[in-house]
Amino acid sequence: MLKIRASLTTPIFLALMATAGVLDAAPFVFQLEGGTITKKDTYVTPTWDLVTLKYAYEFPVVFAVPDSSGNNPADFRLRNVGKTSFELTLAEPPSEDGPHVAMTIAYVAVETGAWLLPDGRLIASGTIDTKQVVYKNGGGFFTVPLPAGFKKPIVLAQIQGIANEKNNIPSQPSNPFLTASVRNVTAATFELALDGCECFPGGTLGTNERVGWMAIDSAAISKFVDSDGKNISYETILTGNVIDGWDNQGFTVPFSQTYLKAPLFVAKPQTRNESDGGWLRYFGFTTTGVGLAVDEDGCLDTERSHVGEAAGLFVFSENFRVQDSDPDKDGVASSLDNCPLVANATQVDLDKDGQGDACDCGDGKLLASEACDDKNGANNDGCANNCAVEKGWQCTGEPSVCTAVCGDGIIVGNEGCDDQNGANGDGCASDCSVEKGWKCNGGPSTCTAVCGDGLIVGNEACDDGNIANGDGCSANCTVEPMGQGGSATVGPGATVGTGATATVGTGATVGAGGAGQGGAAQGGEASMTSGAAGEGGLGAGADCSYCGDDVALTGRACGCEQPGHRGASSGLSWLLGFGVAAFASLRRRFARRE
């Protein structure tokens, strides 16, 4: 059975942990330390090294990473992790002889629980008892919950005992050879397994191994004053998938700050991209960076190359120790505080659940001091991690169900827009979704029509599905002037031919080149064939004398009826027709004068 141990955490962390197995919890004092260890040469002295802790812990977890000393593959194993000390040694896989050369490395120990560092940064740790093994082309992972409050954490994981060990390490190689593997780290969870690499034959372990883990947000660059008054600079690093294998020469990770002397650090893999498995070792340690490589066993082959993996590093400037008996600064020591990470000097516990009301946010029960409680400790879902209703939301019920308020000008949740009204047809619909043909920005949202999508909305006069000019509908969706240099005012239903210069009435149809200089068709139902209009124009009261006797005058329009003029389809035909008509008219006038 999976068993998780934790302490002094937020209520949501306790609830999540309880769903994974048995949870032991107690209010402890926050304690964290980083130091150095000189591991013996076990060829000379084949014994475990005893490390004394700087504080007395309740349930500490410990982390260490080996350097590149000694060519044989090897990783640290721990045992007897107790209140004041722990033991460690290097274990080699079954493909090796067992003993290993000396090295001096750093370690970190932390009390299990969810805490705040002196600079206010969240750090959480715990232990998990499990038989789950992943190995070459077999096995799998399980999911571990994290307390609320992380953004993009790194997770360090290390086996804390040797429950299944059959051999006498470090004199002999380890059997079964195991390390800890982490992958798929998110703000809320990570996946964890024991890693048998290439040496594990399959099947199941005889008993649980205890794995310790610690989470802290990546990309931290900060400092704090430790309990001895020292100024400690630290940083956390999450690399990309760039840490390759021992045979590939590894990868140098730069630090974000420059240290006066080489700092201390612990690091663990954050991915398992290659089925061979593996663990980290370091080299080339300076004030500006450190080299990391993924090491492998030699149980199935002798190669130790590896695809790129991501690594998480916790770097600190020198040995330190931090102890905080009252992290929430409410005057009540953690060992007595019923809500140790949230200030509650009065220790009010109205629901008598043994936990202060200040820490009851996240249990789904709506207390008088809470505006909402959605049974989680997350922000940005309507009910904040202090059980206050967030801006732009409304929450009802127990546990609280929160929905976005459409029409308040604040975009939250699934809202695509919010223009501070509940109207449709303006780009942002009454349900705060963006309407077709529109784009909306900001909150309160400003919505504008999308020109070129083929939908006519808002102030668009046209939309032909493109944003080209010169095709009648311009790039800003306005109607372009008709013809070359022409200016047409077109009534409803009118059709204007290429090159026309006219003011056309309702229902008028003007052919190509149909309106001459100054020509106009005024009023409805006028029909003009190509070339029908000459100088002087058309319409009621128009001068039709140029047509001579061949004129159709209806009182609403006139047109020349010479057969040669009808059906003309170009400006040239119109000019020829006009010339013939003009010559005939002049001839008749001169004949009458004679």
Question: CB-based burial of residue 206 (10 Å sphere; 0-12 exposed, 13-18 middle, 19+ buried)?
Answer: exposed
First to last CA, the chain: 127
Whether residues 211 and 231 fall in one domain: no
Q: Give the CA dihedral 110, 115, 117, 119, nearest 10 degrees.
A: 170
Rounded CA-CA distance 435/416 in Å is: 10
Whether residues 303 and 291 fall in one domain: yes
Whether residues 574 and 542 fall in one domain: yes
- Outline where DSSP puts E strands in 26-152: 30-39, 49-52, 60-64, 75-79, 85-91, 103-111, 113-116, 122-130, 133-135, 138-139, 142-145
Rounded CA-CA distance 419/411 in Å is: 9
Rounded CA-CA distance 94/322 in Å is: 39
Rounded CA-CA distance 500/479 in Å is: 16
Whether residues 145 and 179 fall in one domain: yes
Q: Which of 373, 404, 435 is the last residue of a domain?
A: 404
Contact 448, 438 (CB under 8 A): yes
Secondary structure (H, E, C), 59-81: CEEEEECCECCCCCCCEEEEECC
Whether residues 207 and 113 fall in one domain: yes
Strand partners, 156: 214
Whether residues 61 and 100 fall in one domain: yes
Q: Determine the pLDDT at residue 415.
A: 94
Residue 381, domain member (yes or no): yes
Q: Determine the pLDDT at residue 567.
A: 39
The phi and psi torsions of 410 (rounded to 5 degrees) equal: -110, 125
Q: Determine the pLDDT at residue 115.
A: 86
Residue 468, domain member (yes or no): no
pTM for the model: 0.60
Whether residues 233 and 203 fall in one domain: no
Closest alpha carbon to 274 in 301, 236, 252, 238:
301
Residue 164, domain member (yes or no): yes
Cα distances (Å, whole numbers) of residue 434 to 337, 415, 451: 50, 9, 15
pLDDT in tens, the chain (594 residues): 333 333 333 333 443 443 333 334 444 688 999 999 999 999 999 999 999 999 999 999 999 999 999 999 999 999 999 999 999 999 999 999 999 999 999 999 999 988 889 888 999 999 999 999 999 989 999 999 999 889 999 999 999 999 999 999 999 999 999 999 999 999 999 999 999 999 999 989 999 999 999 999 999 999 999 999 999 999 999 999 999 999 999 999 999 998 999 999 999 999 999 999 999 999 999 999 999 999 999 999 999 999 999 999 999 999 999 988 777 778 877 667 788 767 788 888 887 878 888 788 888 888 877 899 998 877 889 998 888 999 999 999 999 999 999 999 999 999 999 999 989 999 999 999 999 999 999 999 999 999 999 999 999 999 999 999 999 999 999 999 975 333 444 445 444 444 434 444 444 444 433 433 334 433 333 333 333 333 334 444 444 454 444 444 444 444 444 443 333 334 444 444 445 444 445 445 444 444
Q: Which of 161, 192, 219 is the last residue of a domain?
A: 219
Displacement of CA 362 from its chain's centroid (Å): 24
Rounded CA-CA distance 498/496 in Å is: 7
Residue 461, domain member (yes or no): no
Strand partners, 528: 510
Whether residues 22 and 171 fall in one domain: yes
Q: Which of 219, 237, 252 is the last residue of a domain?
A: 219
Tokens of 298: 């030699």
Q: Determine the pLDDT at residue 585.
A: 52
Whether residues 12 and 65 fall in one domain: yes
- For 177, half-sphere exposure in the C-beta direction (CA atoms, 13 angstrom radius) is 31
Displacement of CA 359 from its chain's centroid (Å): 29
Residue in the block written with tokens 């048998």: 196
Residue 410, domain member (yes or no): no
Whether residues 38 and 165 fall in one domain: yes
Cα distances (Å, whole numbers) of residue 333 to 228, 337, 395, 406: 20, 6, 35, 45
Tokens of 269: 């893999």
Whether residues 310 and 386 fall in one domain: no
Residue 455, domain member (yes or no): no
Rounded CA-CA distance 195/190 in Å is: 15
Residue 451, domain member (yes or no): no
Contact 481, 500 (CB under 8 A): no
Residue 331, domain member (yes or no): no
Q: Determine the pLDDT at residue 592.
A: 43
Whether residues 209 and 294 fall in one domain: no
Q: What is the CATH number of the domain that holds 308?
A: 2.60.40
Q: Determine the pLDDT at residue 422.
A: 85
Number of domains in the chain: 4
Q: Determine the pLDDT at residue 237.
A: 98
Contacts of 255 (CB under 8 A, 6+ apart): 235, 237, 263, 287, 288, 289, 290, 315
Displacement of CA 158 from its chain's centroid (Å): 29
What is the domain extent for residue 268? Answer: 223-322
